[in-house]
């Protein structure tokens, strides 16, 4: 079936709402407006205002209410328009959702799913272009998902809802319109493992979410230059599937990590460190990283593009790693 | 404002019960101070001494299926909700027998059996949770009430206003209990709020709100029953501003430079325990020997609890990474980074009692 990332997300929500009456969607403009990215368009008519619940502009209030509802036995899906607004709800996400199970000595699960849009590339300026998923991946008690493919857009939500712990799903804003083929019977997917999307033997390209398409394109072009790349889609940033990374690095002996977050203290820093800890003697070259430049993301198109990871920067890093110049 | 005297005393049995409840909290916390001074328990310790009438009165209005959310000054709320003094003290000892197996401490008491949801060290942070618990009940069509306790310091925070608005907008079954003890650490209400009438703020969100003498356990109980009944019967959120006072410092680290001793002394003349006791005596309800027996009883409960905590076992370090994520049947095969990332599977199955 031909579909888009947005439609796959919507199908996942519809499916979850039908399968479990405890599931409801809550957030700003998810109802009448149809979702600020049109993900929930039409769901209000189908499920009514109790389950497709518009909220006021109260990120901390409604995220906290979602956590409370999860404690009370519901299965809330809370949508935060974009990751930048999630900062207003950090108290609830980090001080409550992530800690309650542990602090209560295992008595209180928080089975909430929080979805939000992340990423830059649409000329929205610094305050709407953050990629903070790696930051959230710092927090024990949270599970961090970054669906990059149609199959994951369709399948991760249901698995996340089965998880007894809080799950944050980061949807890159540039992916919603991505179209492609999805199996008619596509459904829930595993959220524990990274996937090897492309196999090569010269280098391992590691990425997730919004940068996956450009990494795949870079791999295609590198192939033309005789550099055959493994491409790993991490899918889950916490807990990280280190096995898939190390298995690949053991074969290719080189790695480039591509991450739209800023380099300092990023998820790419964590991955590079783990490769050094766990696969140092497999390496034939230093681990390369392609991240956003360390500036608030600018508005002007040429400046924004220069700040973000690109096919060219990924290719240059790969060439350096294999000693092919560039 | 009603007073004990003007209201008359309820039947002797109930009056004794209320007196006992307040005394249990008082003695538990006096013991906490002692244990803290002896370095048996550590961390932040905030006692409720002087405010006992609030928890004692409100808890009377609740049913077992209701939920309670509280702050870091919550020993009394936990105890009166039904968590044993032993489990509370063992928690402060960091023992496995503690109500959170030593992971919570004084500020983070939780208990699933009595639906006691904290224990929250972040001022105001429990309010959105209470709204959500009430939302879950509302959506599931259950007639339960969620009661949320917080200090007047919380009303300056954004989450307070977000929570008032959501609760009123969605007509949720939640009772907000603001324990107005006039100080947020060292900051007097008038130094932090442009509008110091707190009930009026709730009123601004179309929430039925009224102020109650928080030193008068009978007045608190009556107000709480009225509010809880209204909430339970579908009347939407309600709000009580309970005017009270803490007799002790904010925490064990507080040198109390911000208020006059004379002010404290004045308030201590309205000690909720003495107030009820005196009223009962005046009504001929509490012969000296009954009062002595009551005290002996409570003292025995607390000393048994101390013994229980003292003889507890430290939560083993091997259990450290449990409860970061839930134990799952297939945990061993779950992808990821081993014990640093996922809870170990050791000792699977036995959640805290
Ligand atoms: C969000 C937040 N800011 C600051 C603190 C530090 N702090 C702990 S208790 C307290 C005062 C709170 O006063 P109030 O809410 O009136 O409660 P009370 O202690 O009087 O019971 C402060 C400022 C905190 N715990 N949380």
Work out the minimum CA distance from B300 to partner chain A, whole angstroms. Answer: 28
Angular region, A7: left φ>0, alpha ψ -120 to 50, beta rest: alpha
Condensed to tens digits (0 to 9), the pLDDT of residues A119-130 reads 999 999 999 999
State the closest ligand 1 atom to the C-alpha of B123, by its place in the atom list counted from 1: 26
Beta strand ranges found along chain A (DSSP E): 2-4, 23-27, 52-54, 75-82, 113-118, 143-145, 167-172, 179-181, 195-198, 203-207, 229-233, 236-238, 255-262, 288-292
**Cα B152 to Cα B159: distance, rounded to the nearest angstrom:** 13
> Can you read off the two tokens belonging to residue B294?
């009551």
**CB distance B125–A92 less than 8 Å?**
yes
Q: Which residues contact B228 (CB under 8 A, 6 or more apart)?
A: B61, B62, B66, B145, B147, B175, B238
For the Cβ of B151 lying below 6 angstroms from any atom of ligand 1, the answer is yes
Position B3 confidence tier, pLDDT thresholds 50, 70, 90: low
Cα dist from B70 to A301, B29, B130, whole Å: 50, 16, 9
Position B9 confidence tier, pLDDT thresholds 50, 70, 90: confident
For the Cβ of B152 lying below 6 angstroms from any atom of ligand 1, the answer is yes
For the Cβ of B169 lying below 6 angstroms from any atom of ligand 1, the answer is no
> Can you read off the two tokens belonging to residue B238?
């309600």
Distance linking the first and last C-alpha atoms of chain A: 41
Query: Does residue B27 have a pLDDT over 70?
Result: yes
Cross-chain CB nearest to A105 (options B327, B328, B352): B352
**CB distance A164–B131 less than 8 Å?**
no
CA of B120 to the centre of ligand 1 (A): 10
For the Cβ of B121 lying below 6 angstroms from any atom of ligand 1, the answer is yes
Cα A209-A71-B101 angle, rounded to 5 deg: 100
What is the mean predicted confidence (pLDDT) over A125-153?
97
Q: Which of residues 68-107 of A touch B (CB under 8 A)?
A: 68-74, 76, 91-92, 95-96, 100-107
> Can you read off the two tokens belonging to residue B107?
């500020």
Condensed to tens digits (0 to 9), the pLDDT of residues B249-271 reads 999 999 999 999 999 999 999 99
Q: Are A164 and A140 in contact (CB under 8 A)?
A: no
Work out the minimum CA distance from B220 to partner chain A, whole angstroms. Answer: 26
Q: What is the pLDDT of residue B6?
A: 57
Neighbour tally for A39: CB within 10 Å: 25
Q: What is the pLDDT of residue B5?
A: 53
Position B346 confidence tier, pLDDT thresholds 50, 70, 90: very low
> Can you read off the two tokens belonging to residue B49?
């001494």
3-state secondary structure B138-189: HHHCCCCCEEEEEEHHHHHCHHHHHHHHHHHHCCCCEEEEEEECCEECCEEH
List A7, A28, A79, A128, catalytic entry: A128
Q: Are B198 and B180 in contact (CB under 8 A)?
A: yes
Closest CA to B16 of B277, B296, B282: B277
Condensed to tens digits (0 to 9), the pLDDT of residues B188-201 reads 999 999 999 999 99
Bond before B119 cis per omega within 30 degrees: yes
What is the mean predicted confidence (pLDDT) over A91-103?
98
Inter-chain Cβ pairs, chain A and chain B, closer than 8 A: 177
| Three-state DSSP state, A291 | strand
**CB distance B162–A102 less than 8 Å?**
no
Q: What is the pLDDT of residue B337?
A: 40
Cross-chain CB nearest to A60 (options B117, B158, B324): B158
Mean pLDDT, chain B, as a whole number? Answer: 92
Q: What is the ipTM of this complex?
A: 0.92
Cross-chain CB nearest to B336 (options A74, A104, A239): A239
Q: What is the pLDDT of residue B10?
A: 83
Condensed to tens digits (0 to 9), the pLDDT of residues A17-52 reads 999 999 999 999 999 999 999 999 999 999 999 999
Q: For ligand 1, atom 21, which residue shows the shortest CA distance?
A: B151
Neighbour tally for B311: CB within 10 Å: 12
Neighbour tally for B203: CB within 10 Å: 15
Q: B239: part of which helix (H) or strand (E)?
A: strand B238-243
**CB distance B104–A194 less than 8 Å?**
no
Mean pLDDT, chain A, as a whole number? Answer: 97
In chain A, what residues touch B165 (CB-CB under 8 Å)? Answer: 56, 58, 61
* Active-site residue, A59 included: yes
For the Cβ of B122 lying below 6 angstroms from any atom of ligand 1, the answer is yes
What is the mean predicted confidence (pLDDT) over B103-121?
97
Q: What is the pLDDT of residue B328?
A: 78
Q: Which residues contact A273 (CB under 8 A, 6 or more apart)?
A: none
What is the mean predicted confidence (pLDDT) over B60-79?
98
Query: Does residue B349 have a pLDDT over 50?
Result: no
The C-alpha torsion from A200 through A206 and A207 to A212, rounded to 10°, is: -10
Q: Are A170 and A134 in contact (CB under 8 A)?
A: no
Q: What is the pLDDT of residue B332?
A: 43
| Three-state DSSP state, A253 | coil
Work out the minimum CA distance from A236 to partner chain B, whole angstroms. Answer: 9
**Cα A133 to Cα A155: distance, rounded to the nearest angstrom:** 19
Q: What is the pLDDT of residue B7?
A: 60
Query: Does residue B204 have a pLDDT over 70?
Result: yes
CA of B1 to the centre of ligand 1 (A): 27
Q: Are B89 and B301 in contact (CB under 8 A)?
A: no
Phi, psi of A130 (to 5 degrees): -75, 150
Position B341 confidence tier, pLDDT thresholds 50, 70, 90: very low
| Three-state DSSP state, A143 | strand
**Cα B99 to Cα B124: distance, rounded to the nearest angstrom:** 23
Cross-chain CB nearest to B323 (options A56, A71, A106): A106
For the Cβ of B53 lying below 6 angstroms from any atom of ligand 1, the answer is no
Condensed to tens digits (0 to 9), the pLDDT of residues A271-322 reads 999 999 999 999 999 999 999 999 999 999 999 999 999 999 999 999 999 9
* Active-site residue, A128 included: yes
Query: Does residue A218 have a pLDDT over 80?
Result: yes
> Can you read off the two tokens belonging to residue A172?
């890159």
| Three-state DSSP state, A294 | coil
Residues paired with B71 in a beta bridge: none
Phi, psi of A203 (to 5 degrees): -160, 155
Work out the minimum CA distance from A194 to partner chain B, whole angstroms. Answer: 9
**CB distance A239–B351 less than 8 Å?**
no
Q: What is the pLDDT of residue B351?
A: 33
Strands A75-82 and A113-118: parallel
Chain A contact probe: residue of B87, B120, B162 with most A CBs at under 10 A: B162
Q: Which residues contact A244 (CB under 8 A, 6 or more apart)?
A: A193, A194, A195, A196, A232, B335
Query: Does residue B181 have a pLDDT over 60?
Result: yes
Position B330 confidence tier, pLDDT thresholds 50, 70, 90: low
What is the mean predicted confidence (pLDDT) over A236-263?
98
Helix then strand count (H, E) for chain A reads 13, 14
**CB distance A109–B101 less than 8 Å?**
no
Condensed to tens digits (0 to 9), the pLDDT of residues B296-316 reads 999 999 999 999 999 999 999
**CB distance B125–A102 less than 8 Å?**
no
Higher per-residue pLDDT: B352 or A222? A222
Closest CA to B273 of B259, B291, B249, B251: B291
Q: Are A31 and A5 in contact (CB under 8 A)?
A: no
Angular region, B311: left φ>0, alpha ψ -120 to 50, beta rest: alpha
Residues paired with A253 in a beta bridge: none
Q: What is the pLDDT of residue B329?
A: 66
Query: Does residue B122 have a pLDDT over 90?
Result: yes
Work out the minimum CA distance from A135 to partner chain B, whole angstroms. Answer: 15
Query: Which pTM does this prediction carry?
Result: 0.93
State the closest ligand 1 atom to the C-alpha of B185, by its place in the atom list counted from 1: 11
What is the mean predicted confidence (pLDDT) over A249-264?
98
Q: What is the pLDDT of residue B350?
A: 33
Query: Does residue B336 have a pLDDT over 50?
Result: no
Distance linking the first and last C-alpha atoms of chain B: 42
Q: What is the pLDDT of residue A324?
A: 75
């Amino acid at each position: 079936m031909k579909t888009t990332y947005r439609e796959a997300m919507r199908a996942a929500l519809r499916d979850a709402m039908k399968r479990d009456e405890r599931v409801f969607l809550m957030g700003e403009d998810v109802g009448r407006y149809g979702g600020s990215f049109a993900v929930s368009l039409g769901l209000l008519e189908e499920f009514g205002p109790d389950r497709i619940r518009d909220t006021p502009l109260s990120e901390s209030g409604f995220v906290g209410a979602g956590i409370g509802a999860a404690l009370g036995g519901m299965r809330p899906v809370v949508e935060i328009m974009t990751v930048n607004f999630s900062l207003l709800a950090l108290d609830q996400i980090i001080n409550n959702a992530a800690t309650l199970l542990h602090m209560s000595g295992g008595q209180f699960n928080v089975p909430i799913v929080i979805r939000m849009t992340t990423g830059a590339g649409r000329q929205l300026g610094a305050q709407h272009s953050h990629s903070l998923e790696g930051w959230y991946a710092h927090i024990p008690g949270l599970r961090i998902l970054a669906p990059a493919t149609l199959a994951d857009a369709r399948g991760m939500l249901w698995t996340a809802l089965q998880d007894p712990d809080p799950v944050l799903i980061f949807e890159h804003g540039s992916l919603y319109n991505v179209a492609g083929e999805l199996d008619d019977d596509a459904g829930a997917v595993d959220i524990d493992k990274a996937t090897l999307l492309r196999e090569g033997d010269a280098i391992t390209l590691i990425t997730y979410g919004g940068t996956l398409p450009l990494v795949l394109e870079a791999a295609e072009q590198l192939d033309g230059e005789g550099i055959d790349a493994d491409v790993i889609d991490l899918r889950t940033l916490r807990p990280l599937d280190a096995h898939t990374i190390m298995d690949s690095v053991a074969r290719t002996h080189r790695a480039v990590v591509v991450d739209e977050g800023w380099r300092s203290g990023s998820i790419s820093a964590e991955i590079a460190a783990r490769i050094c800890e766990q696969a140092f003697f497999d390496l034939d070259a230093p681990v390369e990283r392609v991240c956003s430049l360390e500036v608030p993301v600018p508005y002007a198109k040429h400046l924004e593009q220069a700040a973000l990871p690109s096919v060219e920067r990924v290719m240059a890093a790969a060439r350096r790693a294999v000693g092919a110049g560039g | 404002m009603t007073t004990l005297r003007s209201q008359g005393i309820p039947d002797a049995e109930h009056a004794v019960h209320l007196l006992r409840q307040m005394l249990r909290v008082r003695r538990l916390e006096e013991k906490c101070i002692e244990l803290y001074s002896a370095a048996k328990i550590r961390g932040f310790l905030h006692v409720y001494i002087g405010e006992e009438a609030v928890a004692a009165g409100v808890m009377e209005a609740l049913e077992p299926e209701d939920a309670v959310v509280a702050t870091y000054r919550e020993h009394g709320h936990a105890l009166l909700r039904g968590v044993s003094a032993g489990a509370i003290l063992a928690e402060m000892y960091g023992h496995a027998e503690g109500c959170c197996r030593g992971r919570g401490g004084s500020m983070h008491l939780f208990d699933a059996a009595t639906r006691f949801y904290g224990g929250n060290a972040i001022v105001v942070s429990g309010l959105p949770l209470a709204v959500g618990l009430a939302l879950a009940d509302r959506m599931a069509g259950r007639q339960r009430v969620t009661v949320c306790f917080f200090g007047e310091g919380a009303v300056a925070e954004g989450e307070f206003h977000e929570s008032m608005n959501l609760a009123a907008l969605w007509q949720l079954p939640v009772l907000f209990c603001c324990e107005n003890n006039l100080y947020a650490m060292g900051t007097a209400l008038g130094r932090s709020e442009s509008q110091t009438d707190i009930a009026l703020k709730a009123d601004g969100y179309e929430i039925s709100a009224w102020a109650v003498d928080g030193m008068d356990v009978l007045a608190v109980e009556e107000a709480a029953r009225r509010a809880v009944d209204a909430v339970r019967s579908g009347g939407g959120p309600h709000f009580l501003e309970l005017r009270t006072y803490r007799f002790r410092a904010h925490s064990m680290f507080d040198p109390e430079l911000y208020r006059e001793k004379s002010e404290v002394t004045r308030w201590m003349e309205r000690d909720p325990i003495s107030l009820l006791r005196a009223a009962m005596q005046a009504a001929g309800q509490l012969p000296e020997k009954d009062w002595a027996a009551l005290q002996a009883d409570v003292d025995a409960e607390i000393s048994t609890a101390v013994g229980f905590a003292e003889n507890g076992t430290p939560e083993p370090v091997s259990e450290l990474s449990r409860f970061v994520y839930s134990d799952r049947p297939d945990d061993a095969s779950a992808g990821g980074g081993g014990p640093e990332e996922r809870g170990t599977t050791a000792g699977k199955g036995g959640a805290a009692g």
